[in-house]
């Protein structure tokens, strides 16, 4: 959530920055509702003061044996007026909050300006695209021949987009999750979290999925809980409505969770095999930092996510998203994309984002500095990493002509798997 105080003081700056995200929110409407809300609060406060004075007058009149009927009538009238004002206050407050929750986080000044993904900027790359003396197969062809996953039976179970990993495919998936969790904990001292996946509405509001993207979420209507689209949701909300001492920052968490996304806007996109699914596994990195250190932490976070791909020897590139391609909540973001030789294209496996105070304001997550001032902290997160497209690139990169998969020694050591036959 943006700061309404900053919006009041610099509407034009907000408007121009939001336009960079292709957002045309009516800021004048928001400011008019804000002004009305403040006016109603003032009137309510004045009426309450009058009612208190009337109450004192009644007490004095009765004590003196005087007629208090006029003061009683005034107090009753004020009470009715206050009820009306409070009702108006609630209505305006709900309208204002609804609009504020739907405003995206303005982009950071350092994010490259652009309209869409075609304007993203490649920052660096690592490794070389693998070369074959045969035509490489796609992950669906490899998976079918080695029985790594079964999309026909998974469709019978849950419909399309819900992978069923089998045999050595299930083993590889589990090994990837365990290896990534251990790596981030052992190498970078991230604290491990194993979170629940059913979330309250407030948790989803905090991280920015609600209210704007409700149609993309899986929702259990009876209990009014949402299936987490990423471990970012439960992990960020660990400190919701808390004040953390500055000496405890930064806080670094790593969490594994299954993730659930309806992907209602995926029509027309490539949904074959593991390329775009409704349920998938992901290791998530979440950081809580001071505002002064958050952009240094973003650079470190991105390198930490990259380290997984280096351990696996996979060719990848880091792309800085332009303003028009940034997510709703991100002020700045790097995407990490791996090369898929079977598909012949780059596949995103991680987004590393700085949300600044956007999520902290929505979730009331604050810290107390050394001068005893309480401020909103900054939150960051990045996939470290998501497994579906990682598996796509992994089995396509290390495939053999005879249809088997052989991992190099260091990759095999990281995974605990030498080959798949």
Which of these is catalytic: 51, 240, 261, 362?
261
Beta bridge partners of 339: 346
Which of these is catalytic: 8, 48, 276, 368?
276
Question: Is 174 in the active site?
Answer: no
Q: Specify whether the CB–CB gap between 112 and 322 falls below 8 A.
A: yes
Question: Is 76 in the active site?
Answer: no
Q: Which residues of 27-39 are buried (b: 16+ CB within 10 A; e: fewer)?
A: beebeebbebbee
Say if strands 332-340 and 345-354 run parallel, antiparallel, or are unpaired: antiparallel
Which of these is catalytic: 351, 353, 357, 383?
351
Lookup: tokens for 137: 């197969």
Q: Distance between CA atoms of 297 and 195, rounded to whole angstroms?
A: 23
Name residue, tokens 């107390």. Answer: 368
Question: Is 179 in the active site?
Answer: no
Question: Is 16 in the active site?
Answer: no
Q: For 152, phi and psi rounded to 5 degrees? A: -70, -50
What angle (nearest 5°) sits at the alpha carbon of residue 102, between those of residues 278 and 200?
55
Lookup: tokens for 189: 């001292």
Which of these is catalytic: 77, 86, 141, 348?
348
Q: For 320, phi and psi rounded to 5 degrees? A: -90, 125
Name residue, tokens 């292709």. Answer: 22
Residues with active-site annotation: 261, 276, 348, 351, 389
């Amino acid at each position: 959530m943006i700061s309404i105080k900053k919006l009041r003081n610099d509407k034009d700056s907000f408007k121009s920055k939001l336009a960079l995200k292709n957002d045309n929110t009516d800021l004048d409407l928001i400011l008019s509702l804000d002004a009305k809300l403040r006016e109603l609060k003032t009137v309510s406060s004045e009426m309450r003061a009058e009612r208190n004075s009337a109450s004192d007058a009644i007490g004095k009149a009765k004590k003196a044996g005087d007629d208090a009927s006029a003061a009683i009538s005034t107090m009753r009238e004020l009470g009715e007026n206050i009820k009306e004002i409070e009702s108006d206050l609630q209505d305006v407050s709900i309208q204002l909050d609804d609009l504020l929750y739907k405003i995206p986080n303005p982009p950071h000044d350092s994010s490259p300006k652009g309209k869409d993904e075609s304007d993203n900027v490649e920052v660096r790359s690592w490794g070389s695209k693998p070369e074959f003396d045969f035509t490489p197969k796609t992950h669906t062809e490899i998976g079918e021949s080695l029985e790594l996953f079964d999309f026909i039976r998974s469709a019978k179970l849950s419909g399309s987009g819900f992978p069923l990993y089998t045999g050595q495919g299930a083993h590889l998936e589990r090994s990837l999750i365990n290896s990534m969790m251990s790596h981030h904990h052992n190498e970078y001292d991230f604290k491990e979290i194993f979170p629940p996946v059913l979330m309250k509405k407030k948790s989803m509001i905090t991280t920015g999925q609600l209210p704007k993207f409700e149609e993309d979420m899986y929702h259990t209507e009876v209990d009014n809980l949402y299936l987490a689209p990423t471990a970012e949701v439960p992990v960020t909300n660990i400190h919701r409505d808390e004040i953390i001492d500055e000496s405890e920052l930064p806080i670094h968490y790593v969490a594994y969770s299954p993730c659930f996304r309806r992907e209602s806007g995926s029509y027309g996109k490539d949904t074959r095999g593991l390329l775009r699914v409704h349920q998938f596994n992901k290791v998530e990195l979440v950081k809580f930092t001071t505002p002064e250190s958050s952009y240094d932490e973003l650079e470190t976070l991105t390198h930490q996510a990259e380290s997984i791909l280096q351990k696996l020897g996979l060719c990848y590139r880091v792309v800085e998203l332009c303003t028009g391609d940034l997510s709703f909540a991100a002020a700045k973001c790097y995407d990490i994309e791996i090369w898929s030789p079977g598909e012949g294209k780059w596949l995103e496996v991680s987004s590393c984002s700085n949300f600044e105070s956007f999520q902290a304001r929505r979730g009331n997550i604050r810290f107390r500095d050394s001068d005893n001032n309480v401020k909103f902290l900054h939150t960051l997160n990045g996939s470290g990493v998501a497994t579906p497209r990682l598996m796509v690139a992994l089995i396509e990169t290390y495939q053999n002509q005879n249809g088997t998969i052989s991992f190099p020694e260091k990759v095999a050591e990281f995974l605990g798997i030498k080959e798949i036959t």
